[in-house]
Amino acid sequence: MTNVDRENLEGNTLSVYAFVVKAGKPVGPREVMRGASLSSPSTAHRQLEKLESQGLIEKTAYGTYVVKEKTSISGHVWVGKNLVPRLICYALFFFGILIAETAILVTQFFSQNLTPSVAVSYLVPITAGAAGVFLAEGLILWRQNKRAVLKTENISE
C-alpha cells in the first residue's frame, strides 16, 4: 500500500476502517452503519468497498467484511484496537516526565531539606506546558476527525 492510499483514510473511510479493526470479527454494512455512526447502509457499503479496493479489508463468502491488513495511519497510532492521535501519546510521555520531575523536587525539598535551584524549577512549568500543548492539539485532532465524519455524512445525504 502506498502512502497516497493511506492519506485517503480520513472522514467516513477512517471511521469505518477503525470500526472494522476494533470489531475484530466479520461485519456487515448495517453493523458498520451503526458502529461508525453513518447515515445509511449504502454509505457504509460504499466505504467498505473503498477499503476493499485499497486492500485493507476483504469480503468473505458470506458478504461480510474482515480486516486483511492493519496499516499505520498518518498522525495516529494503534493502541490495541483503538486508533489514537499520536499527539496524545506525546502528551502522556510529557506527563510522565512531569510526574517524575515533581516527585524528585518534592523528595529533595521535604526529605533532604534542599531548595531546588532556579534552573531546575523552570523544568516543571516547561514540561507541564509541553504536555498541555500536545494534549490540546491531540484532542483538537480527535475532534476534527469526528467533525469530518459528521460533515462528510451530512454532504452524502
34/54 same-domain check:
yes
pTM: 0.66
pLDDT value, residue 93: 96
DSSP code of residue 27: B
Instruction: Kindly calculate the radius of gyration of the chain based on its CA atoms and give it in whole angstroms.
Output: 22
Structural domain boundaries, residue 10: 3-67
Question: How many domains does the chain divide into?
Answer: 2
Q: How would you write the pLDDT of the chain (157 residues) with one tens digit per residue?
A: 443 345 567 778 888 888 898 888 999 999 999 888 888 889 999 999 999 998 899 999 998 999 988 888 888 888 888 888 899 999 999 999 999 988 888 888 888 878 777 777 788 999 999 999 999 999 988 777 665 445 444 444 4
Decide which of 45, 67, 89 is a domain's last residue: 67
Residue 72 lies in a domain: no
CB 39 within 8 Å of CB 153: yes
Distance, in Å, from the CA atom of 33 to the CA atom of 44, rounded to the nearest integer, reads 5
